[in-house]
Structure 1
Amino acid sequence: MAAASVSRIEVGRDGPEGGNSAYLVAARAVVDPGPPTERAWQELHAGLERAGVAPASLEYVLVTHWHADHAGLAPRLAETADATLAMGAGDAALVADYARERERRLERDAAVMRRCGVPTAAVDSVIDGDPVSPMPDETPVERLADGDRVAGLEVVATPGHTLGHTAFAGDDFLLVGDAVLPTVTPNVGGSDTRTLREDRHKPRAASATNADESVVDRDPLGAFRGTLERLADRPERLLPGHGATVERGRIAEMLEHHRERSQRVLAALEDGEPTAAAKTPWAVARQLFGDLEGIHVKFGAGEATAHLQALEREGLVERVADGPVQYELVR
């Protein structure tokens, strides 16, 4: 039987997208408990108390994706409630093995930014400014797959924003995390650099240390478009990871946003002499977004790369160099 009741608890109001939305589902589970701050912890407890639910009565703590503003409190709540922490298999390692995976992520982020043509000083600034979340080095996490059922919810794979982003569907609602947001379009590419394809000449790995990283050739923008189209076909009302509601028409707006951005990427490559038109993703990002600082360096370079890779698959651009990567129009 599908879960029939859901209530929102606003936690962690300091993020760039506004307040996080934690959801209490049928008094059995909390989805996306929020960032790992004491203030968010108190807000979550207050919300549970208003609902008349004691943490000890929870059976599950569910997480849509690995970003700390959604997953940060999950280990603490699961331990307090003696509940099972569960999330999509593609993202689970970044919470289950936080300390080791954080180091791997920083190395990967730096390598991706360098490959995109980001200057060394900007790369160093992003990596040095990446905060350590107060999460356990290791924590038990149950891996979920598309179509599973947990706490009366259907598990719905929604990749794109992160490799293993997952939504949870109840009786008449769909908890979509950051897949669909009311006021911003979630970053694709830079928000999880695992989603980006590696260098053209790097051979496909015969094996990998993590099952969720066994595929080298990825298409984050294509995956995200597929996620939006899949969500558009579902009947449930959408409940986002930030804000209280999101209209279904927002999906069409986000698809159009990315169509327009791809056209701007093509225009950025067109803006140059034919003999000097090849550009790095970083150069394209600077034309799209202007000056970039802090985490937006990674987000901008990653999003430009995601669009360039998608355009390459469509035969509209080609990669002409790999160190750093450079693209030009197919003429």
Structure 2
Amino acid sequence: MGVVRVRDGRVGRRGVTRVVGITVGTGSPEGANSAYLLPERGVVVDPGPPGDEAWSALGEGIRAAGCELDAVDHVVVTHWHADHTGLAPRLARAADATIHMHARDAPLLASYEQARAERLERDAAALRRWGVPEATVEAVIEGDTPSPFPAETAVESHVDGDEVAGGRLLHTPGHTAGHAALAFDGHLFVGDCLLPTYTPNVGGSDTRLANPLGAYLASVTRLERRIEECEFHPGHGETLALPDRIDRIRAHHEERTRRVSERVATRERATPWDVASDLFGELRGLHVKFGAGEAAAHLAYLREEGYVAEADGEVAVYEHRRPYEASGE
């Protein structure tokens, strides 16, 4: 059975909002997924990964909170990754509920078959542009296994600021292009934007963003402004030590940006794959995309800030311009 955690309700404009955290799924680098049930509102946030074991844990958690599946009216998913969307179609069918996502990520579930084919092409093109060897690109794409989703799923798409299931959607891109948080009566469900022990990947986790690190840091700042008014609920784990966790995330990216800048300065000219190989050593499987993408994200950030220049060409090659100076935030 999934671990069920009942948080004390907070009084909001709709009265007391009770939040039930349900641990579903295991095995990801971030740790077990945290699904959230708002029993009196008929809302589930991030139901968890696909599979019968996770489905059983989710159902048991919902029943332990005194609800049945048909009490769920809305399924809000913070982003398109399968460990968060995995059970959304199954739950929506069982409960006759509506799935809600940000418009940038919604097609990756709504039109899964077509969107997955487009994503694989996009990912392969990004890997080649980052300088990843062709044989390695082919291995990564071949190793990308499909999720057990329908070819099409009904999803209601939203933009920043929309009222969703009685809450408010906040666009928080970076980890994915359409990552979103849900603010609901003093509670803030932040998905993978902020995690208690793991810094989410930027760059390789979604290859659609031109400056994913810049977008991610802006999203962190946006959420930070709500620390005093909201209790934060992460997509993995139970609690967030704020503001200390945000300070650690920023420090992590400051240090990595500095190291990336130093690697380009040492080489004078470098591709993201060069930098990733220097920083992380030999990369295989999904780590190729995550490692090269992380390097590419930091290089794009350095380019936007004028620390490196990008040469024209099919492969992204960066040249050192000036030493990186930490922002001091």
Global fold match (TM > 0.5): yes
Q: Which residue of 2 aligns with 1:325?
A: 316
Q: CA deviation at 1:323?
A: 2.2
User: Which runs of 5 or more residues in structure 2 are unaligned?
Assistant: 1-12, 323-329
Q: Which residue number in structure 2 is paired with residue 224 of structure 1?
A: 216
Aligned mates of 1:105, 1:147 — CA distance in 2: 27
Aligned residue runs from structure 1 range 1-331, under 5 A: 1=13, 4-27=17-40, 28-195=42-209, 218-234=210-226, 235=228, 236-248=230-242, 249-272=244-267, 277-330=268-321
Unaligned runs of 5+ in 1: 196-217
Q: Report the Cα distance in structure 2 between the residues aligned to 1:16 and 1:304, rounded to whole angstroms.
A: 19
- Tell me the CA shift for residue 146 of structure 1: 1.4
Q: Which amino acid aligns with 1:259?
A: E
Tell me if structure 1 keeps the 8 A contact 2:112–2:150: yes
Question: RMSD of aligned C-alpha atoms?
Answer: 1.2
- After the TM superposition, which parts of structure 1 deviate over 6 Å for at least 4 consecutive aligned residues? none
Q: Deviations over 1:139-190 (max 9, x none)?
A: 1100122112222221111110000000011222211000001111000011
Structure 2 counterpart SS, 1:138? coil
Letter in 1 for 2:239: T
Aligned residues: 305
Structure 2 Cα separation of the partners of residues 237 and 57 of structure 1: 24
Rounded to whole Å, the distance in 1 between the matches of 2:38 and 2:133 is: 46
Q: Deviations over 1:272-304 (max 9, x none)?
A: 3xxxx2111000011121211110100111111
- The one-letter amino acid of 1:129's match is G
Whether contact under 8 Å (2:169, 2:182) holds in the other structure is yes
Among the aligned pairs, what percent are the same residue?
Answer: 52
Q: Which has the higher contact order (CA 8 A, sep 6+)?
A: 1
Deviation at 1:321, TM superposition (A): 3.8
Contact 1:238-1:247 at 8 Å conserved across structures = no
Aligned partner of 2:5 in structure 1 is none
Q: Is the 8 A contact 2:192 2:200 kept in 1?
A: yes
Alignment check: 8 A CA contact 1:158 1:164 kept:
yes
Name the aligned partner's letter for residue 261 of structure 1.
R
User: 1: CA distance between counterparts of 2:22 and 2:123?
Assistant: 32
Distance in 1 separating the partners of 2:176 and 2:20: 25
Per the normalisation by structure 1, the TM-score is 0.90
CA contact (8 A) 1:278 1:320 kept: no
Matches of 1:9 and 1:296 in 2, distance apart? Answer: 28
Q: Secondary structure at the match of 2:247?
A: helix
Q: Distance in 1 between matches of 2:104 and 2:305?
A: 26
CA distance in 1, matches of 2:280, 2:100: 36
8 Å contact from structure 2 (residues 79, 179) kept in 1: yes
